[in-house]
């Protein structure tokens, strides 16, 4: 049997490199990919932490933000052929449940999360459904193409507000998603973007990128700065941390919108509901990517946002643990693995 090196989630706190069989196509809709690049996600950090902050199935190969080259196609995957390079929506949906039929495939009742419950891409080969694979131009480098999935999620978040040129925004959390949201907002015509971050490396990194007014909320009074500079508060506030709904509501203007992107299963917030009512705030959740992969691919192909500037590390699979540790220390932004 042919084998390959893979990074496998064994149990809480145990994430190991080992040799496993090369996966095979088992359904007609599937394709076999040779993985070109796979980026490490915050979710991978939560899964491999002890105790885990996000549950994965023991024995699963992690890695869900990937670009790969088609090696073989199942009989029903007729839109792809060997040699095509594709990015993948790792949340395969059924297409027939009540939510899929409401055009909400990100909320499908039968999602198959690749790299969390189904074998993912921290390996040389990976099998995915052809339904969730999108061709991408060879001009987009592998490292950048690997970021299509978080970009598609960020686009889904930005779509929740109707961006108008000249408006202003606050983004809480300066990791890859927060920075991608800032880039998308700026590309959509938002005038001033305030980015709140507390980790020293990320503060410095965001300041150097020069795309937002970067605030350390431990050192500076962010709501006061936003209120004073905008006059009325922010038109939209994105919380990418999963725990900052209270300051988000505070910084939004009357009639403003708050988008909750981040997931933190432990964060319980006490919200003064009256503030939402009397300020007529719209509080909007956003989850995964809903039909935003074609846009993400276009954004990458046209260079509308510069994701290459977010990649701090490109490493071989052998160093995946080092990459995770660097991210856990907040000393990297986007780490891309080339298996």
Show Cβ contacts of residue 242 under 8 Å, excluding neighbours closer than 6 positions: 260, 261, 262, 263, 264, 267
Active-site residue, selected from the candidate residues 46, 198, 312, 321: 46
User: Does 263 help bind Zn ion (rule: CB under 5 A)?
Assistant: no
Residue range at the interface with Zn ion (CB under 5 A); choices 9-17, 37-45, 72-80, 316-324: 37-45
C-alpha closest to that of 61 among 15, 110, 1: 15
Stretch that binds Zn ion, among 17-25, 98-106, 269-277, 312-320 (CB under 5 A): 98-106
108 near Zn ion (CB under 5 A): yes
Are 286 and 156 within 8 A, CB to CB?
Answer: yes
Report H helices in the chain: 42-48, 142-145, 148-158, 176-187, 200-209, 222-230, 245-251, 273-279, 293-302, 320-328
Helix axes 293-302, 148-158, angle to 10 degrees: 110
Q: How far is the CB of 256 from Zn ion (least distance, A)?
A: 28
Indicate the length of the chain as a whole number: 339
**Residues in region 282-311 near Zn ion by CB under 5 A:** none
Least distance in Å: CB of 241 to Zn ion? 15
Query: What's the CA gap between 132 and 43, in Å, rounded?
Result: 20
Restricting to residues 178-237, name those near Zn ion by CB under 5 A. Answer: none
Residue with smaller CB distance to Zn ion, 93 or 118? 93
Q: Shortest gap between Cβ of 107 and Zn ion (angstroms)?
A: 8
Q: Can you tell me which of 100, 151, 249, 281 binds Zn ion, judged by CB under 5 A?
A: 100
Give min distance, CB of 285 to Zn ion, in A: 17
Closest approach, Cβ 261 to Zn ion, in A, equals: 12
For Zn ion, the closer of residues 147 and 226 by Cβ is 147
**151 near 304, Cβ under 8 Å?**
no
Identify whether 48 is a catalytic site residue. no
Q: How many angstroms separate the CA atoms of 171 and 115, rounded? A: 28
| Burial category of 201 from C-beta neighbours within 10 Å (exposed 0-12, middle 13-18, buried 19 and up) | middle
Return the residue of 25, 33, 41, 249 that touches Zn ion, per CB under 5 A.
41
Which span (85-93, 174-182, 214-222, 244-252) binds Zn ion, by CB under 5 A? 85-93
Task: Assess whether 78 carries a catalytic annotation.
Answer: no
Give the CA distances from residue 230 to residues 195, 214, 215, 233, 323, in Å, rounded to whole numbers and listed in that order.
Answer: 14, 15, 15, 6, 39
In the set 94, 104, 284, 304, which binds Zn ion (CB under 5 A)?
A: 94
The residue annotated as part of the active site, out of 3, 43, 64, 292, is 43
Active site members: 43, 46
Residues that bind Zn ion (CB under 5 A): 41, 43, 93-94, 97, 100, 108
């Amino acid at each position: 049997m042919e084998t390959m090196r893979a990074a496998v989630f064994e149990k809480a706190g145990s994430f190991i490199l080992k040799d496993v069989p090369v996966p095979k196509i088992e359904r007609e809709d599937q394709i076999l990919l040779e993985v070109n690049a796979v980026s490490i996600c915050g979710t991978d950090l939560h899964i491999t932490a002890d105790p885990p902050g996000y549950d994965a199935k023991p024995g699963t190969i992690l890695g869900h933000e990937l670009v790969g080259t088609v090696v073989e196609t199942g009989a029903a995957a007729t839109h792809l052929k060997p040699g095509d390079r594709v990015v993948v929506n790792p949340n395969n949906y059924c297409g027939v449940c009540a939510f899929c039929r409401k055009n909400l495939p990100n909320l499908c009742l039968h999602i198959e999360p690749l790299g969390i419950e189904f074998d993912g891409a921290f390996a040389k080969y990976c099998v995915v459904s052809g339904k969730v694979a999108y061709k991408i131009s060879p001009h987009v480098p592998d490292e950048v193409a690997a970021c299509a999935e978080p970009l598609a999620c960020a686009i889904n978040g930005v779509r929740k507000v109707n961006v108008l040129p000249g408006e202003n925004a606050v983004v809480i959390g300066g990791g890859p998603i927060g920075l991608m949201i800032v880039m998308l907002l700026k590309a959509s015509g938002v005038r001033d973007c305030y980015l709140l971050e507390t980790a020293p490396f990320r503060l410095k990194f965001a300041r150097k990128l020069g795309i937002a007014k970067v605030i350390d909320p431990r050192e500076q009074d962010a709501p006061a700065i936003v209120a004073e500079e905008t006059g009325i508060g922010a038109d939209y506030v994105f919380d990418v941390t999963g725990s900052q709904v209270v300051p988000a509501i505070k910084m939004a203007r009357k009639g403003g919108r708050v988008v909750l992107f981040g997931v933190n299963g432990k964060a319980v917030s006490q919200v003064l509901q009256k503030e939402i009512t009397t300020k007529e705030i719209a509080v909007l959740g956003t989850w995964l990517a809903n039909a935003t992969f074609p846009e993400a691919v276009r954004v990458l192909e046209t260079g509308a946002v510069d994701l290459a500037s977010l990649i701090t590390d490109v490493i071989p699979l052998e160093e995946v643990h080092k990459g995770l540790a660097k991210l856990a220390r907040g000393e990297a932004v986007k780490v891309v693995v080339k298996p």
